[in-house]
Every structure is written in structure tokens, then in C-alpha cells.
Amino acid sequence: MSKVNFNKNLIFIMLLLIAGTSNNLVFGQVKNKQKYKVAVCDWMILKRQKLGSFELASQIKADGIELDMGGLGNRETFDSKLADPVEVKKFKDKAKEFNVGISSIAMSGFYGQSFAKRQTVKLMVQDCIDAMKTMNVKVAYLPLGNQCDLKKFPELRPVIIERLRWAGKQVAKVGGVIAVETTLDATAEKAFLKEVNCKRIKSSFNFSNAIENGKDIASELQILGKKNIAQIHASNTDGFWLENDKAINMPKIKSALDKMNWKGWLIVERSRDTTDVHNVKRNYGANVAYLKKIFQN
């Protein structure tokens, strides 16, 4: 082989290697470093802590699920399978099989139970934190619910703050955070978080709360700020799909989050079409597709 041909071949090989490396970097960035990921609540797709949630999430093309701790009722703690190593392996295997992640571990039982008054709150929260460690999830979702609505029951504020400070210390041991949902507007919630004074306690921002408070969603996000938002429930109450909801300006919301340089999980809770409210695939498939169109295109 002549020296000229050798050099040409060498240059050609080098160009192929460079192109291949570039493609790997690009695809790796899209796959592994997606700034915004879209999840659905397992209890809202009627798969509360069920293995089938992963397959269903895959079918509606969600990137992940918000995995619930299970029912609470009058039990001392959640009705959860996530303390059983055999069951945990099943959940992990299903997540891997369908390539569906877990955005957070949810304590949805507190929608209807009192975080301020239940005597076994420490056991409940610790069980959730243990599940976070087992499942390698860094965020726990805590809705304060109707019994701990800080606007309706401001007298509960001191005990809620005390319990959150304790919870923050515990979740710090697994390197995680607890994302709290309140009914407060952004200014009041920011003041509340400041009073809690724990970097492990952040906000789980919900579009529907901002709308209920008569506030602009994008502005509320900016008031709260990047460091205070652990995750976002990116939906309204039922009525319309996200793309048809005039109360939600999704491009404006994305622009605000981009400017804040926030990244994380956008979780669909509701925004179901009330003319066909029980059609899980249709409702959640449409909402996931729209969020991906805006945030991942």
C-alpha cells in the first residue's frame, strides 16, 4: 500500500471514529441526560403499587411512575409491599423490563389522613424512607391533604413544621428529599419552607393549586425558585386534557423552567377528559404525549 493510500485510509478511519463518538455523545445525552422526564401517578392509572403499572406506563409512553406506598386507612403504617425483598425484586425487574423509571415514592394516604395528628407518623415516614433507599429513589412525595390544609387550619402549622424538620433529618440519611404539597400560593409556600429551614424539605408544585389560587403558573414557579422545587405535578383538576386547558400555557411554563435551569420530573395526576374519565390509556396517553411534545421535542 502506498503512503498516500495509507494516509487516506487512516484519515477515513479517524473520521468514522469521530462521527461514531459524536453520535454516542448525542444519543447518550438524549437518553441519559434528558432535562425533563414525564411520569404518571400509579394510583391514578388504577395500578396503585402494582407490577402492572410499569407495563401500562410503557404503553402510554411515560418515562416513569410515581410509586405509591399503598393504602393507609386506620393502619399504623402504609399497606406496602416495598419492605419485602422478594416483592422489591419483582418491582425492580419490571421497571427494567419496560424501561420505566420511578420519579418518587408517594405517601398518598395523607391526602385523607392527618400528617399533624396521626400518632404513628414517624413509623409511616420511616417506612417510606426505607422504601426510597431500597428502590434507589431520591424523592418522597407528601401531600398535606384536606386535614392539614394550612389555609384552613393555620393552628396546625407549628406541629407540621416540627414533624417536617424531623422527617428532613431522616431523609438526609439516604441522600433524599421530601417534596411537600400545600394549598399555599408560591409566596406563602416559600415563607413556609424558610420556616421549616431544612434543605431536605422542598415543594411538590402542583399546577392545579396555582390555578385554584388564581395565580399564573409560570410566575409562581419563578417565585418559588429552582432550589425549592423537588418535582412538579403537571396537571389540573379533571375537565380537559392539558393541551385543551385554557388555564395552562405550557410553552410559557417551559420557558420559565428553562430560564430557572430547573430539571426533574413532570408528573401527570389528573387533567382527564370528563366525557371519558375512566379511559386510562386515552387520557394519560394524551397528556403524556403533550408534555413530551412541549418539554422533550
Strands (DSSP E) found in the chain: 36-41, 64-68, 101-106, 139-143, 177-181, 201-206, 229-233, 264-268
Flag whether pLDDT at 3 surpasses 60.
no
Cα 67 from Cα 39, distance rounded (Å): 10
Within a domain: residue 217? yes
Domain assignment of residue 272, given as a range: 36-295
Instruction: Report in angstroms the alpha-carbon separations of 227 from 61, 163, 261, 275.
Output: 29, 21, 10, 39
Within a domain: residue 28? no
CATH code at position 222? 3.20.20.150
Within a domain: residue 5? no
**Secondary structure letter of residue 265 according to DSSP:** E
Q: How many CA atoms lie within 13 A of 61 on its CB side?
A: 12
Within a domain: residue 26? no
Within a domain: residue 8? no
Q: Give pLDDT tens digits for 271-291.
A: 999 999 999 999 999 999 999
Output the pLDDT for position 21.
38
Strands 36-41 and 264-268: parallel
Q: Give pLDDT tens digits for 160-214.
A: 999 999 999 999 999 999 999 999 999 999 999 999 999 999 999 999 999 999 9
Within a domain: residue 11? no
Mean pLDDT across 99-109:
98
More confident residue, 10 or 142: 142
Cβ neighbours of 249 (radius 10 Å): 14
Cα 6 from Cα 13, distance rounded (Å): 11
Within a domain: residue 289? yes
Cα 104 from Cα 136, distance rounded (Å): 10
Rounded to two decimals, what is the model's pTM? 0.89
Q: Give pLDDT tens digits for 47-101.
A: 999 999 999 999 999 999 999 999 999 999 999 999 999 999 999 999 999 999 9
| Location of C-alpha cell 405517601 | 107
Instruction: Report in angstroms the alpha-carbon separations of 47 from 41, 70, 115, 247, 259.
Output: 9, 10, 24, 28, 35
Output the pLDDT for position 297.
85
Within a domain: residue 6? no
Domain count along the chain = 1
